[in-house]
Structure 1
């Protein structure tokens, strides 16, 4: 039987049963690739809930509180983030799990035991799949499975080592489990959207077969299991391969544009439509994100006046297609090519944005702009830079999109420029925080968009 501890809020001042973990986690969390608060000091850490999944493995939700940082325009940034952890607990840690080490607990119920990231442990990962295969509850945790899905037992797990804002486990090259790290209240789009698309008959997405959610401290999605496409290659890898071989990529880009339009059409049918209006609100939100990014990244500041003009143009430009549900973070790393078909994955949206915003209706131009920026990213991975390669791919992608969607993104110049600018601003902030060596890539786009207008 699962043992669950729902701990008192920090405001009570009562000593918490697992408070001894917090010191270790306060040091370990900021070093993780998926930790979102790297530019904000962690002031305190509170265990919100802890559930024993099986002997030697705790499921833990922690709240990381940050030092208040002033936000441009007044106020402060959100006070904290909730993170999901699966913690292994043993007397001694095997040397092969050394990279998963968090530390040794000094006091409290776990005193003298070693704590580590259990997703690195094949035994724990295998037991996690077994819980998903058998629907049920463990305290506030709920394991649910599509009744039509057949998930065999005994699939060997491996943890993907790619740079991600979450953690992913592949089981026997048959399934992939995405474990969300930063948790927000509500259903995660990466569960909601693929399920809705499959119900529409869209075959561009792998359907969810099982998922994990919690009811405490609030209802939220924790993980999603989907079919894995072992013979597929992601668009980023394919694009870089084409560049290295000096091969054309326009056919693939054209077909990717068609796939994007297929997804948008299915999303428009699956979810309530948005409206054409609210351009002023969109422009204001983009301007606020620009100012916030410039506050954090000094290199962006000289270009702010030129970038603002892209957002001001939204007030008078053609509003384009109606707002609808979209992917929200579309780029070459979010698409897979298996055989002659493109598949779209990772519908979570930009994890740094509030969940309500990611689940809301937005212009499909946002997704188009994200993919156009991705072609530029790929082209800049090799020297000499090949801007003509990116230009041809961008043209082919838009042409393919127009054939399926019935409207051409290239004819919405002001709208496309605004969304591409907003995406480039996001990229600048992301690279400055996580990959400073990549900062020149979006900064080159910033200069183009600010000085030449596109």
Structure 2
């Protein structure tokens, strides 16, 4: 990797460290919890600690740019399912500094600093500003090293690409560069190997066309630990995500089965490529019992948190018990690396009609080690089946269960065509994963969107009595 960098990123400074953070503290306490990607909503921020600070643009009369990794401290949430409380989430911040903000940057305002090294200046979310976004791309092009920041690339990157921030609500932040690339910047970051880079790189080596290959990425090295910060990938021009496409079709009363079938084929192709690229394992009795124990713990915690779930708990538990019984009889399953958080919003259909899968980060609330575990492909299939159910309840009209059932059946049929295995032929496993997903949805909706609680509860009622586990005709996806 080259040590040569463009002038904009040659200086890395110990920018006052704690003094800098102390001056930003009161502003961040107000601004950070309002961000869509802030994970600790509902709990006050009691303080911050600095993980790393890097000066990307030296502070002058016009513009400065700081890259911060900041840990936000909050009262610990109740421990559920035997989990271990986290000491505080670490967030990636790109802080722009100006004397005053021009009107075009008003939505990016964080606040005005009154003390410390930035006293008298205005700080803001730098990604709204083209120049800081250009600095990141320049660093990727140059494979720069700036303090603890590392910028790497697999291919050449043009220098004439104009950046624009994606302003739609996301759990991370994205910048599009001239319709050629899209940079996904992770906001809540963890040390370790991140599947959001690991899996697309593995798929690129396999030549899988269903996942945009990483062009470049940035990371931070802090105290012998590595944090993935962002991934640059080709931008799929004219693409529409599956969630938007499904809702659009529902609003027009259009059939979505052909798209669901094509999406099933694309998912199977990705799973097949992942199985070639990375190790697979066999799940026997003890491994499956551990899996079932985790599902049972989540059900018990959910029933305690959401009273509306309690009448269905015995029936839901029967889905997990049936899987454990099969394992006890000697049945085994193959596990491999999977997407881990698959739903319609994680799929893109290009203008030519080709489907791609994106965002391999997994469920952000889970530890990286858990996200990287081998799992049955039924985990991803169940997520997509739940997604069709959510779409059928979200189009603005009455629920459309027949539409969802047709999409589920078409998706499984398409998966069988490309993967050689119809998920519906293993109904006990698929029912267990759908049940686990629906329980997660119940807790999510009860906490964040109570008006949506009837959506997963309708699936819970079916799954609690669906001893035949007719996966093709019943179930929905990650919460949208």
Q: TM-score, normalised by structure 1?
A: 0.93
Which one of 5, 11, 21 corresponds to residue 2 of structure 1?
11
Alpha-carbon spacing, 1:178–1:435, altered in 2? closer, same or farther (3 Å)? farther
Kindly report which structure 2 residues correspond to 1:225-264, keeping only aligned pairs within 5 A, or say none.
225-264=232-271
Which one of 288, 304, 317 corresponds to residue 308 of structure 1?
317
Which one of 59, 62, 74 corresponds to residue 70 of structure 2?
62
Q: Report the secondary structure of 2:89's partner residue.
A: strand
Alpha-carbon spacing, 1:300–1:2, altered in 2? closer, same or farther (3 Å)? farther
The equivalent residue for 2:166 is 160
User: d(CA) in 2 for partners of 1:37 and 1:159?
Assistant: 24
The equivalent residue for 1:124 is 132
1:378 and 2:387 aligned: no
Q: Deviations over 1:307-329 (max 9, x none)?
A: 22222222013656411000001
Which one of 415, 439, 446 corresponds to residue 453 of structure 2?
439
**Does 320-329 or 170-179 show the bigger shift?**
320-329
Alpha-carbon spacing, 1:57–1:261, altered in 2? closer, same or farther (3 Å)? same
Q: CA deviation at 1:439?
A: 3.1
Alpha-carbon spacing, 1:294–1:121, altered in 2? closer, same or farther (3 Å)? farther
Alpha-carbon spacing, 1:298–1:79, altered in 2? closer, same or farther (3 Å)? farther
1:78 and 2:86 aligned: yes
The equivalent residue for 1:269 is 276
User: d(CA) in 1 for partners of 2:388 and 2:457?
Assistant: 15
User: d(CA) in 1 for partners of 2:49 and 2:249?
Assistant: 48
Q: Deviations over 1:405-446 (max 9, x none)?
A: 222211211211111111122223333444444333223222
Q: CA deviation at 1:16?
A: 4.5
Contact 1:61 1:85 in 2 (8 A): yes
Q: Report the secondary structure of 1:275's partner residue.
A: strand
User: d(CA) in 2 for partners of 1:437 and 1:104?
Assistant: 38
1:195 and 2:191 aligned: no
Contact 2:81 2:298 in 1 (8 A): no
The equivalent residue for 1:50 is 53
Q: CA deviation at 1:248?
A: 1.4
User: d(CA) in 2 for partners of 1:175 and 1:26?
Assistant: 33
Which one of 407, 410, 414 corresponds to residue 400 of structure 1?
414
Contact 2:19 2:117 in 1 (8 A): no
Kindly report which structure 2 residues correspond to 1:284-323, keeping only aligned pairs within 5 A, or say none.
284-317=293-326, 321-323=333-335
Which one of 19, 22, 41 corresponds to residue 19 of structure 1?
22
User: d(CA) in 1 for partners of 2:347 and 2:183?
Assistant: 17
Contact 1:34 1:166 in 2 (8 A): yes
Q: How many pairs were matched up?
A: 446
Alpha-carbon spacing, 1:84–1:301, altered in 2? closer, same or farther (3 Å)? farther
Contact 1:321 1:364 in 2 (8 A): no
Q: Report the secondary structure of 2:29's partner residue.
A: helix
Contact 2:282 2:332 in 1 (8 A): no
The equivalent residue for 2:402 is 388
1:100 and 2:100 aligned: no
User: d(CA) in 2 for partners of 1:142 and 1:207?
Assistant: 19
Gaps of 5+ in 1: 9-14
1:212 and 2:215 aligned: no
User: d(CA) in 1 for partners of 2:251 and 2:464?
Assistant: 30
The root-mean-square deviation of aligned C-alpha atoms, in Å, is 2.0
User: d(CA) in 2 for partners of 1:57 and 1:178?
Assistant: 19
User: d(CA) in 2 for partners of 1:95 and 1:447?
Assistant: 52
Q: CA deviation at 1:143?
A: 0.6
Contact 2:20 2:118 in 1 (8 A): no
1:30 and 2:33 aligned: yes
Alpha-carbon spacing, 1:6–1:446, altered in 2? closer, same or farther (3 Å)? farther
Q: TM-score, normalised by structure 2?
A: 0.88
Contact 1:22 1:46 in 2 (8 A): no
Contact 1:177 1:224 in 2 (8 A): yes
Gaps of 5+ in 2: 1-9, 59-63, 470-480
The equivalent residue for 2:361 is 348
Q: Report the secondary structure of 1:153's partner residue.
A: coil
The equivalent residue for 2:182 is 176
Q: Report the secondary structure of 2:115's partner residue.
A: coil
**Does 396-405 or 265-274 show the bigger shift?**
396-405
